[in-house]
Chains A and B, each alone.
Chain A
Amino acid sequence: MECRVLSIQSHVVRGYVGNKSATFPLQVLGFEVDSINSVQFSNHTGYAHWKGQVLTADELNVLYEGIKLNKVNHYDYILTGYSRDTSFLETVVDIIQELKKANPSLVYVCDPVMGDHGAMYVPENLLPVYRDKVVPLADILTPNQFEAELLTGRKVNTQEDAFEVMDLLHKMGPETVVLTSSDLPSKKGDQFLVALGSQKIVKPDGSKTSQKICMDIPKVDAVFVGTGDLFAAMLLAWTHHHPKDLKAACEKTVSVMHHVIKRTITYANEMAGPGKRPSPAQLELRMVQSKADIENPAIVVEAKVLHKSSQ
């Protein structure tokens, strides 16, 4: 497999977020990963302390220039995640546009990280950049419910609302949208959260429709950091292997997440000791220990295909 990904994300010295979270799993699955580190921090910002440096939009441009001058600016995928800076994000957009001209088949996997549980945790002025410039370029989008609501200006109260929001997102650009989490009620009870996916397909007769899927994902009582980054990277990998089968791609992706998270929470609880809540350091994803699950995830969740078509 000869597949090259350009990933523009954070680097942390210790732990697994951003490029640290995405790179190893993609490499283990045989992808060549070129990585531009948008920041270098000692660790993620959920620890008591964090220190480091950020890359400016100009410095990002300089790095890309180096790649371009050597005529090696050919990528099959681009992957982006958490960003805090509008000019940086706008430079990313310019780079993607140029890379898409160099390779029209390029697939841009975008995690539009803006917030969760009803609150933004990036500057507000990123929303118009995502909505008007980034999302139109995206081919695969992995918003959570809050981010999907922000991007479309619509609230999600029911599954029907979620479907409408995903269709609106399709109209904005991406052919594949995965709502990575929602607060919709799960049929399996309150220990589960609902994730939804939608992929535009062209039927044999040429007409367009979309395939909608639904997954019930077991909740885990802990705050993990970097899981969204791992999710987007693994969705990239599994949609690469199952480009027209969102059900299969999502089952693999969510299953990898499950194995990594279970291994992590078990280890974290061991480290913390009985009755104590694990610390951020103890909750770092058990990434290298999960290599076998990353390579070949046992399927532990079933995605249901929901029969509803829309144009």
Chain B
Amino acid sequence: MECRVLSIQSHVVRGYVGNKSASFPLQVLGFEVDSINSVQFSNHTGYSHWKGQVLTADELHVLYEGIKLNNVHQYDYVLTGYTRDTSFLEMVVDIVQELKRANPNLVYVCDPVLGDHGSMYVPQNLYPVYKNKVVPVADIITPNQFEADLRISLTDSLLGDRFLVSLGSQRQVRPDGSRATQRVRIEVPKVDAVFVGTGDLFAAMLLAWTHHYPNDLKMACEKTFSVMHHVIQRTISYAHELAGPGRRPSPPQLELRMVQSKADIEDPAIVTEATVIS
């Protein structure tokens, strides 16, 4: 498989968010991953302390220029996630547009990270950039309910309140040329902990599994959600071991058990079934 991804995300020295969360699993699945680190922090911002440096929009442009000057700006996928800066995001859009001109088959996987549970955790002025500039160039997006801006409340899970519901929708072209939309629904078991980096892992794995199943969103989602399940289970078990009985694990203890989950990443046992709705 000869497939090259450009991933523009955060780098943390310790732990698994952004590029740290996306690169290893994609590489393990055989993807070439070129990574532009939008920041370099000691660790994610859920720890008591965090320190580091951010990349400016100009510096991002300089790095891209280097790639372009060498004529190696051919990518099959672009992957982006958490950003806090509108000019950086706008530079990302310019780059994606240029890369799509260089390869019209390029697939842009975009996690439009804005917030969760009813509130934004990035500056508000990112919202119009995502809505008007970013999402129009995206091919796959992975919003949560808040980011998708749904005006209706989602149905409860049929399996009870220890599950959450995920929905997927894919526009397809049938063999006879007519268009259809495949909609899927997945019931996902909740876990009583706050994980960081799981959204980044999800987007990366959805990239990988839609690559292998480009017209079968049900299958791609089952694989992706199954990988998430295995990594999260392993992580929460280990975190509880480290924390000790009756104690809530700390952010360092809750870092994803990524390298330990290599086998599950390579070949995830399917543990959740996606239902095709229409």
Bound-state CA distance A55–B52 (Å) is 11
B51 to chain A minimum Cβ distance, whole angstroms, is 3
Q: Looking at the complex, which of B66-74, B198-206, B219-227 is the stretch in contact with chain A? A: B66-74
Q: Is the CB of B63 within 8 A of A42?
A: yes
Q: Kindly state whether residue A223 has any CB partner on chain B within 8 Å.
A: no
Given contacts A36-B13, A69-B51, contact A48 B37 (CB under 8 A): no
Contacts of B35 in A (CB 8 A): 11, 13
Q: Is the CB of B41 within 8 A of A66?
A: yes
Residue from B11, B30, B62, B70 having most chain A Cβ neighbours under 10 A: B70
Q: Is the CB of A70 within 8 A of B66?
A: no
Contact of A49 among B51, B64, B66 (CB under 8 A): B66
Residue from A24, A34, A42 having most chain B Cβ neighbours under 10 A: A42
Contacts of A43 in B (CB 8 A): 66-67, 70, 72
Bound-state CA distance A191–B246 (Å) is 64
Q: Is the CB of B41 within 8 A of A42?
A: no
Q: Is the CB of B52 within 8 A of A72?
A: no
The chain B residue with its CB closest to the CB of A50 is: B66
Interface residues of B, CB < 8 Å — how many? 42
Q: Is the CB of A63 within 8 A of B63?
A: no
Contacts of A11 in B (CB 8 A): 11, 35, 37
Contact with B along A34-68 (1 / 0, CB 8 A): 11110011110001111111010001001111110
Contacts of B148 in A (CB 8 A): none
The chain B residue with its CB closest to the CB of A26 is: B259
Q: Is the CB of A41 within 8 A of B52?
A: no
Given contacts A30-B260, A43-B67, A51-B62, contact A70 B34 (CB under 8 A): no
Q: Is the CB of B67 within 8 A of A42?
A: yes
Q: Is the CB of A51 within 8 A of B63?
A: yes
Q: Looking at the complex, which of B42-50, B123-131, B137-145, B181-189 is the stretch in contact with chain A? A: B42-50
Given contacts A42-B67, A288-B32, contact A281 B52 (CB under 8 A): no
Which 5 pairs, one residue from A and one from B, show the smallest C-beta to C-beta distance?
A: A42-B66, A66-B42, A66-B51, A51-B66, A69-B49
Q: Kindly state whether residue B36 has any CB partner on chain A within 8 Å.
A: yes
Q: Could you list 11 further interchain pairs (A-B, Cβ under 8 angstroms) beyond the known A49-B69, A70-B43, A288-B31?
A: A11-B35, A13-B36, A27-B24, A30-B260, A31-B259, A51-B65, A51-B66, A63-B40, A70-B50, A72-B14, A72-B252
Contacts of A49 in B (CB 8 A): 66, 69-70
A-B contact pairs, 30 of them (CB 8 A): A11-B11, A13-B34, A13-B35, A13-B67, A14-B67, A24-B24, A27-B24, A27-B259, A30-B259, A37-B37, A37-B40, A40-B40, A42-B64, A43-B72, A48-B70, A49-B69, A50-B70, A53-B55, A59-B53, A63-B13, A63-B42, A63-B51, A66-B49, A66-B52, A67-B14, A69-B48, A69-B49, A70-B43, A288-B31, A291-B28
B234 to chain A minimum Cβ distance, whole angstroms, is 13
How many A-B pairs fall under 8 Å by CB?
129
Bound-state CA distance A297–B64 (Å) is 36
Q: Kindly state whether residue B262 has any CB partner on chain A within 8 Å.
A: yes
Q: Is the CB of A28 within 8 A of B262?
A: yes
Contacts of B62 in A (CB 8 A): 51-53
Contact of A70 among B48, B258, B262 (CB under 8 A): B48
Q: Is the CB of B66 within 8 A of A13?
A: yes
Given contacts A28-B262, A35-B13, A70-B47, contact A13 B70 (CB under 8 A): no
Bound-state CA distance A40–B28 (Å) is 23
Contact with A along B57-93 (1 / 0, CB 8 A): 0010011111101101000000000000000000000
Contacts of A27 in B (CB 8 A): 24, 258-259, 262
Contacts of B70 in A (CB 8 A): 42-43, 47-50, 281
Q: Kindly state whether residue B27 has any CB partner on chain A within 8 Å.
A: yes
Contact with B along A280-296 (1 / 0, CB 8 A): 01000001110100000
Q: Kindly state whether residue A183 has any CB partner on chain B within 8 Å.
A: no
A251 to chain B minimum Cβ distance, whole angstroms, is 24
B262 to chain A minimum Cβ distance, whole angstroms, is 7
Q: Kindly state whether residue A32 has any CB partner on chain B within 8 Å.
A: yes
Residue from A32, A63, A64 having most chain B Cβ neighbours under 10 A: A63
Bound-state CA distance A66–B52 (Å) is 8
Bound-state CA distance A14–B27 (Å) is 13
Q: Is the CB of A281 within 8 A of B72?
A: yes
Bound-state CA distance A62–B24 (Å) is 26
Bound-state CA distance A69–B69 (Å) is 41
Bound-state CA distance A6–B42 (Å) is 12
The chain B residue with its CB closest to the CB of A56 is: B53
Q: Is the CB of B24 within 8 A of A65?
A: no
Contacts of A24 in B (CB 8 A): 23-24, 27
Q: Is the CB of A52 within 8 A of B13?
A: no
Contact of B34 among A14, A31, A63 (CB under 8 A): A14
Contact of A63 among B30, B52, B259, B262 (CB under 8 A): B52
Contacts of B28 in A (CB 8 A): 28, 288, 291
Which residues of chain A (1-42) have a CB below 8 Å from chain B? 11, 13-14, 23-24, 27-28, 30-37, 40-42
Q: Is the CB of B50 within 8 A of A66?
A: yes
Q: Is the CB of B66 within 8 A of A37?
A: no
Contacts of A35 in B (CB 8 A): 11, 13
